[in-house]
Structure 1
Amino acid sequence: MAGTERDFSQLVEGGILGFVVGDALGVPAEFMSRSALRKDPVRGMRDGGAHHQPAGTWSDDTSMTLCTMDSLMEAGVDYSDLMWRFADWLWNASNTAHGEVFDVGGTTRHAIFNFFKGTAPLQCGETAENTCGNGSLMRILPTALYIVGQYGNDGLDARAAGLIHNTSICTHAHPRCQMACGIYCTVLFQLCRGDDLHAAVAQGIHSALSYYREDPAFSSVYGDFCSLPEIGYWEEARIRSGGFVLHTLQAALWCLLTTCDYRTCVLEAVNLGDDTDTTAAVAGGLAGLWYGPEAIPEEWAEATAKYREIRALSRRFSCSCRRQT
């Protein structure tokens, strides 16, 4: 593990808080088109929107991320425990901003139903082509941070890939979803090392593609990701921001690479439109980790539901990841 205990704690805190605030910024703009947001861009926390939530409300993205953190802290790598926590969130509104569950993806819901009916956790996720949503990518951040804390990875190996893929498989088992999670995590591994932002992202993408090129289980989807090394040079018109997992990964990396601070990155993500909360959360996790928790605007932090509680949780999570080594 490169860096000091304090360094890792700051990485975790920045990543988790950056994710949550990005999610909350995006909730009131979800389903709005890019053209509509050009006329009325998001510049800070809003209320209302399609879900009629108070300003600072985060969505299922953060709820499932918090469930993942709780599971890793209290049970280690235990996919049954993870799925039980997802079920508790879905039916009992645990780990929600205001005691209400909203905006649950159909693939995620179906996987939780499968588990509740007795299906083994690693058999709950679907593999059909129409189940390649971003529902596992949006909650993979704690797993990546856990791997860094436990093992100090700067790239994928069989152990890290197994943890990442299995975490995805619980709800989203298609190889495309697994690979998107693996690339995101490998970029995060490189960002944790410091250096230069663009170099770290490039190395993360290159390292992940090199790993997946050699794995026949991903041969059918490998080509989908081959354009990622050029993502920072794309024009905005090429970036799509719906719920398809590949598009979310592309959009998040593009926002990170084409901006120079946390605020601009997540606002860019939200104002792309469509699946605004997830795009901003996934981008915000990387940006928060890179720029640090102090880069999150104070007025956004103060407006975000349970911000102080989540900040304290992120610190406990950091200690837990290191303590178990």
Structure 2
Amino acid sequence: MGREGRLKSQIMASLWGAVVGDALGVPVEFRGRAELTAAPVTGMQGFGTHDQPPGTWSDDTSLSLCTVESLLHCNEVDTRDMAERFHRWLVEAHWTARGQVFDIGIATRQALARFSEGRKPELCGGRQEYDNGNGSLMRMLPVSLWVRDAGIEQGLPFVHRVSRITHGHPRTQMVCGFYSLLVWALLDGANPLEALTEAWRQAEEEYKFHEDFEMNWPHLHRLSPKVLPMLGVQEIRSGGYSIHTLEASAWCLLRGKDFSSTVLSAVNLGDDTDTTACVTGGLAGLCYDLEQVPEIWIKALARREDLDTLFSKFIKRLTEAPQEDS
């Protein structure tokens, strides 16, 4: 497989991997680690927490699909258009799995309420300590892919802007930036530890002494390649805090041997299972390519043909030419 074919396979696997992870996690969201250790998730199942059929994905995927749709429609990062599509999802069930919004974070709901009242989209996300949930991280994959060729100095500000639609705290903007650096390193062919090492180096350069981020930089210390690989499972948290989600996802990636084991390990950490597995699945797809994403899981997904159509258009656009002028 040539470089272009490999890149397309990586991106397609990443997009499908994120949805698969989301759908694997939906039925057991909020279950504790002890319960899932005793009875772990081993494949696609249904009902459970949200009483949804197998293959149902949540807000994580819905907002990511709205983001893809916006990028294709505008051919650039347009935060107002994205926010409008997010609002359509909330009030019209746009890009939902089965015509129902059944899972939405408090910060996202509040931000979209501010948008509906006329606030500028990049001022809608909360900036308080309690606004550091993972609701922008979970939808950042399409933007990370889109701005990759813009380079770090131009690409990261786009990532921060898109985060601010729903999550404006500098810490979570920085988490989304670190995640994007991981995505870019994996796209370049790095293995998980190499990607973490490179992302850490670049993030330190960008954030450690930046006036907008330096106060929050110490919160990312466990993402260091000298720290995260050494942590045991009992030290990994998997709730809705953005830093914990990124730590858990990167940790699962470091420990994984293949796509399936990596994503299932994320689900079985418990708590915010859909988002942890969604973020993990997107990263794992970049490592293992499409062949390793179980076809039986993809076939089980709600609206599979719609997803395939949208993803194919997105990949075609991404690989036509560098997206440098977003």
* TM-score tier (shorter): over 0.9
Query: Residue in 2 aligned with 1:288?
Result: 285
Give the Cα–Cα distance (whole angstroms) in 1 for the partners of residues 300 and 311 of structure 2: 18
Give the Cα–Cα distance (whole angstroms) in 2 for the partners of residues 301 and 128 of structure 1: 38
Query: Residue in 2 aligned with 1:142?
Result: 142
Tell me the secondary structure at the aligned position of residue 211 of structure 1: helix
1:151-300 map, 5 Å:
151=150, 153=151, 156-157=152-153, 159-229=154-224, 230-300=227-297
Shift of 1:77: 1.3
Amino acid at match of 1:218: F
Query: Residue in 1 aligned with 2:95?
Result: 95
Shift of 1:324: 5.6
Q: TM-score if structure 1 supplies the norm length?
A: 0.95
Query: Residue in 1 aligned with 2:23?
Result: 24
Identical counterparts, % of pairs: 42
Shift of 1:322: 3.6
Give the Cα–Cα distance (whole angstroms) in 2 for the partners of residues 175 and 260 of structure 1: 33
Instruction: Tell whether the 8 Å contact from 1:83 to 1:121 is kept in structure 2 after alignment.
Output: yes
Q: Which runs of 5+ in 2 are unaligned?
A: none
Instruction: Indicate yes or no: 2:106 matched with 1:106.
Output: yes
Amino acid at match of 2:30: F
Tell me the secondary structure at the aligned position of residue 218 of structure 1: coil
Give the Cα–Cα distance (whole angstroms) in 2 for the partners of residues 218 and 30 of structure 1: 31
1:39-118 map, 5 Å:
39-75=38-74, 76-118=76-118
Shift of 1:209: 2.1
Instruction: Tell whether the 8 Å contact from 1:8 to 1:318 is kept in structure 2 after alignment.
Output: no
Give the Cα–Cα distance (whole angstroms) in 1 for the partners of residues 195 and 87 of structure 2: 36
Tell me the secondary structure at the aligned position of residue 226 of structure 1: helix
Tell me the secondary structure at the aligned position of residue 73 of structure 1: helix
Shift of 1:200: 2.0
Give the Cα–Cα distance (whole angstroms) in 2 for the partners of residues 260 and 279 of structure 1: 18
Give the Cα–Cα distance (whole angstroms) in 2 for the partners of residues 165 and 59 of structure 1: 23
Tell me the secondary structure at the aligned position of residue 48 of structure 2: coil
Instruction: Tell whether the 8 Å contact from 2:24 to 2:55 is kept in structure 1 after alignment.
Output: yes
Instruction: Tell whether the 8 Å contact from 2:191 to 2:287 is kept in structure 1 after alignment.
Output: no
Give the Cα–Cα distance (whole angstroms) in 1 for the partners of residues 318 and 299 of structure 2: 27
Instruction: Tell whether the 8 Å contact from 1:191 to 1:201 is kept in structure 2 after alignment.
Output: no
Amino acid at match of 1:244: Y
Tell me the secondary structure at the aligned position of residue 74 of structure 1: helix
Instruction: Tell whether the 8 Å contact from 1:213 to 1:219 is kept in structure 2 after alignment.
Output: yes
Shift of 1:302: 1.4
Structure 1, 198-207 or 108-117: larger mean CA deviation: 198-207
Amino acid at match of 1:165: H
Give the Cα–Cα distance (whole angstroms) in 1 for the partners of residues 239 and 62 of structure 2: 20
Give the Cα–Cα distance (whole angstroms) in 1 for the partners of residues 304 and 236 of structure 2: 30
Shift of 1:276: 0.1
Q: 4+ runs of 1 displaced by more than 6 Å?
A: none
Instruction: Tell whether the 8 Å contact from 1:12 to 1:314 is kept in structure 2 after alignment.
Output: no
Give the Cα–Cα distance (whole angstroms) in 2 for the partners of residues 322 and 119 of structure 1: 34
Structure 1, 199-208 or 239-248: larger mean CA deviation: 199-208
Among 312, 316, 326, the alignment partner of 1:315 is: 312
Instruction: Tell whether the 8 Å contact from 1:47 to 1:56 is kept in structure 2 after alignment.
Output: yes
Shift of 1:298: 1.7
Q: What CA deviation, in whole Å up to 9, does each residue of 1:237-258 have, x standing for no partner?
A: 0000000011001000000001
Instruction: Tell whether the 8 Å contact from 2:222 to 2:247 is kept in structure 1 after alignment.
Output: no
Give the Cα–Cα distance (whole angstroms) in 2 for the partners of residues 63 and 224 of structure 1: 29
Q: TM-score if structure 2 supplies the norm length?
A: 0.94
Amino acid at match of 1:221: N
Q: What CA deviation, in whole Å up to 9, does each residue of 1:210-243 have, x standing for no partner?
A: 2111311112210011221221221000000000
Shift of 1:6: 2.6
Count matched residues. 318
